[in-house]
Amino acid sequence: MKIDSSYKPTVAPVAPRTTQTPTTAGSTQEAVSLSPLAGSLQSTEKPPVNSARIQEIRQAISEGRFTINPEAIADRLIETARDLVGKRQA
């Protein structure tokens, strides 16, 4: 499939959903609650970053020598999906 600049996607506007609870005269307060899963996803630890590898990939992309292995991507995606399904069933 070729993608060119003639494609113009249409996006319907979506009104934001907010929950507002009146507190005092004229002011409102938004309430937010997170599930336990969302709370566990918020971690203060940051994953390790290999700046040299990132620069190497950027250079390869700019020079046109970066290759993509779709089979490896598909295999890892399927593996990740299986892991997630396995964790849900456990």
Tens of pLDDT along 14-61? Answer: 666 655 555 555 567 788 887 777 777 766 677 788 999 999 999 999
pTM of the model: 0.37
- The pair phi, psi for residue 42, each rounded to 5°, is -85, 100
As beta bridge partners, residue 29 has 21
pLDDT computed for residue 76 by the predictor: 95
Alpha-carbon distance of 65 to 53, in angstroms, equals 15
Query: Is residue 81 predicted with pLDDT exceeding 90?
Result: yes
Phi-psi group of 50: left, alpha or beta (phi > 0 → left; psi -120 to 50 → alpha; rest → beta): beta
Name 34's Cβ contacts closer than 8 Å, sequence gap at least 6: 42
